[in-house]
A and B are shown apart, each in its own frame.
Chain A
Amino acid sequence: MRGLTRVISPGDRRRIAAAQKARWEGRRKARKTPDSRTMQVNNSNLSDDLHRLAEGIVEAVEQSKAEGRITLQRQEYVLRPDYSLWYAGDPKLANFEVKNGPKRCGTGETFKTS
């Protein structure tokens, strides 16, 4: 999940909420058009179409794999302390490599370890 996480500044939060709301309102209106309503009623048709599409995709992938046209790479990850987190609860928890104990950082409740 972290890889997909976007960090958004508080100033942008309201604008994003407004944009999202407008977007979803647009979608809701779009769903009220006759075609969309038909689609909602015929969920089983849509389900069949989606299954057919999924099968088609899987077949295409299998074929490409068999022909050697899909190259998969090995991805390596490192698990390390998240240095952006400053935990006020238990300072020992973030004590991955601390020699002289946690340092107090002036707030009276926050510790940082490095």
Chain B
Amino acid sequence: MWNWRDVQDFITNHIVIMPEYTKVKELVRDEDFVSGFVWRIAYEAATLETIDADHHVRVLINDVCGRVQPAKTKVWLTGITLSEDEIHISASLTLRRSTRLDMQEKIRIQDLHHSHGFKSRVHFSCIAEFSVPASRPFEHQRYVDQLLTVLQLFRLGSVSAPRYEIQVDSFSALSTVGFGGLDRIGRLAYEISKEDAPKLKHMLEMLMPMVPTIYSTDGKQTFLSSAVHWYSESLLAIGPPEAPVAFAVAALEALFLGAETTTEVSYRLQQRVISLLRCFGWPTLEMKKDLTATYGIRSKYFHGAEQRKKAEDLKALFVRIGEYARVSCLVWLLLLATHKKDEVLELLENALLDGDTFIRLKEWCNPIAFATRL
């Protein structure tokens, strides 16, 4: 090991004064890139027998030109268990169980007594590994965020990433970075088997480009982004058992109500949810009963009133209302590719009154996969 202070001194005294350095710095301009390149070459020259300068030059040129570079990403996931050790979802995405190697850490001997002091706990149930081509660091984060949303929509599970690490062949300061700190223990987990892989792959291909994300380039909040946010909150809620129910109802409200709906809110919400989900075989009377009960729970929870329901009943209710929210988010995501929200809402209300309109709604819904009740 070459002490970093000695490396820095060496670079200051021997490299920065070189005319080649000045020329490269004028061309590249980004100090992070040049400094990373110089450090890497100097360190490897001092500590390794051979260095691959060609490779480092290629990487730096890619950085400077903003070319797409594949990143290896490892995500610790909650809310998903696997039926076997490793399941390949696609050519670039693998879900796997943890190995003993994942559970170990390599620590410098002088840091042994304090290295874990500031690390947050990471609850996880499986690991996702994938390679994503991206030209900017935040694109990797966006991919992780969208992947989590699709996994939350695949089935009802408290999917989150308490830690993820991204490694890119780059001299950017963010080429190797870990994110973490979200310590929520979800209430629900679902299992993925080998048979689920093609379905999940298909869903990822369809939904990844369209799921809302906080890393979107325009940064706009839409009713769909609000709905997906509330749905995600319902899966990861850490409050009392009323919280997930209330958040799932909030997701449905974001989808099926608008700024203009100020009266008969609960009634209209019920009608519109039922009108849409019955197209996919969901039982109408059961939905009506659940939506009535959950809207009351949501109101009491948000307004601070006491509830008298048992925790087990609330959990069972959440599983049903969570499913309605999940499927509704999926359907809206796909419907919005071809229709506007107002058009859909109008059709939903009229489809309850008119047979022809119901047939038209069914035609809109027919191409949508994933939403049919199993």
Of residues 1 through 54 on chain B, the ones whose CB sits less than 8 Å from some CB of chain A are 1-3, 6, 10, 14-15, 18, 20-21, 23-24, 27-30, 37-38, 41-42, 45-47, 51, 53-54
Complex contacts, B30 vs chain A, CB 8 Å: 27
Closest Cβ neighbor of B57 among chain A residues: A50
Closest Cβ neighbor of B104 among chain A residues: A79
Q: Given that A21-B138, A89-B126 are contacting pairs, would A6 and B178 also be in contact in the complex, using a CB cutoff of 8 Å? A: yes
Q: Given that A86-B123, A90-B98 are contacting pairs, would A9 and B45 also be in contact in the complex, using a CB cutoff of 8 Å? A: no
A84/B24 in contact, CB under 8 A: no
> Is there a chain B Cβ closer than 8 Å to A103's Cβ?
no
Q: Given that A20-B138, A76-B108, A88-B123 are contacting pairs, would A56 and B46 also be in contact in the complex, using a CB cutoff of 8 Å? A: no
Q: Report the number of A-B residue pairs with Cβ-Cβ less than 8 Å.
A: 211
Is the interface on chain A under 10, 10 to 19, 20 to 34, or 35 or more residues? 35 or more
Q: Given that A6-B178, A58-B51, A83-B116 are contacting pairs, would A89 and B98 also be in contact in the complex, using a CB cutoff of 8 Å? A: yes
> Is there a chain B Cβ closer than 8 Å to A61's Cβ?
yes
B61/A56 in contact, CB under 8 A: no
B61/A47 in contact, CB under 8 A: yes
- Of B57, B76, B109, most buried by chain A (CB within 10 Å of CB) is B57
9-residue interface stretch from B179-187, B265-273, B280-288: B179-187
B125/A87 in contact, CB under 8 A: yes
> Is there a chain B Cβ closer than 8 Å to A99's Cβ?
no
Complex contacts, B112 vs chain A, CB 8 Å: 78
Complex contacts, A84 vs chain B, CB 8 Å: 116, 119-122
Complex contacts, A62 vs chain B, CB 8 Å: 45
Q: Given that A7-B181, A27-B30, A81-B104 are contacting pairs, would A86 and B46 also be in contact in the complex, using a CB cutoff of 8 Å? A: no
Complex contacts, A70 vs chain B, CB 8 Å: 2, 6, 10, 46
Q: How far is the CB of A54 from chain B (nearest CB, A)?
A: 4
B61/A50 in contact, CB under 8 A: yes
Q: How far is the CB of A32 from chain B (nearest CB, A)?
A: 11
B121/A65 in contact, CB under 8 A: no
**In the complex, what distance in Å separates the CA atom of A57 from the CA atom of B109?**
31
Complex contacts, A2 vs chain B, CB 8 Å: 105-106, 178
B29/A81 in contact, CB under 8 A: no
Q: How far is the CB of B69 from chain A (nearest CB, A)?
A: 13
B28/A52 in contact, CB under 8 A: no
> Is there a chain A Cβ closer than 8 Å to B350's Cβ?
no
Of residues 157 through 189 on chain B, the ones whose CB sits less than 8 Å from some CB of chain A are 163, 165, 167, 174, 176-182, 185, 189
Choose among B57, B167, B174 the residue that contacts A54 (Cβ–Cβ < 8 A).
Answer: B57
**In the complex, what distance in Å separates the CA atom of A83 from the CA atom of B57?**
39
B residues neighboring A (CB under 8 Å)? 1-3, 6, 10, 14-15, 18, 20-21, 23-24, 27-30, 37-38, 41-42, 45-47, 51, 53-54, 56-57, 60-61, 64-66, 76, 78, 81-82, 97-100, 102-109, 112, 116, 118-126, 136-138, 141, 163, 165, 167, 174, 176-182, 185, 189, 214-215, 217
15 pairs, A vs B, C-beta closer than 8 Å: A8-B181, A10-B181, A50-B57, A54-B56, A64-B14, A70-B6, A71-B3, A78-B107, A82-B103, A84-B116, A84-B119, A85-B98, A85-B103, A86-B121, A89-B97
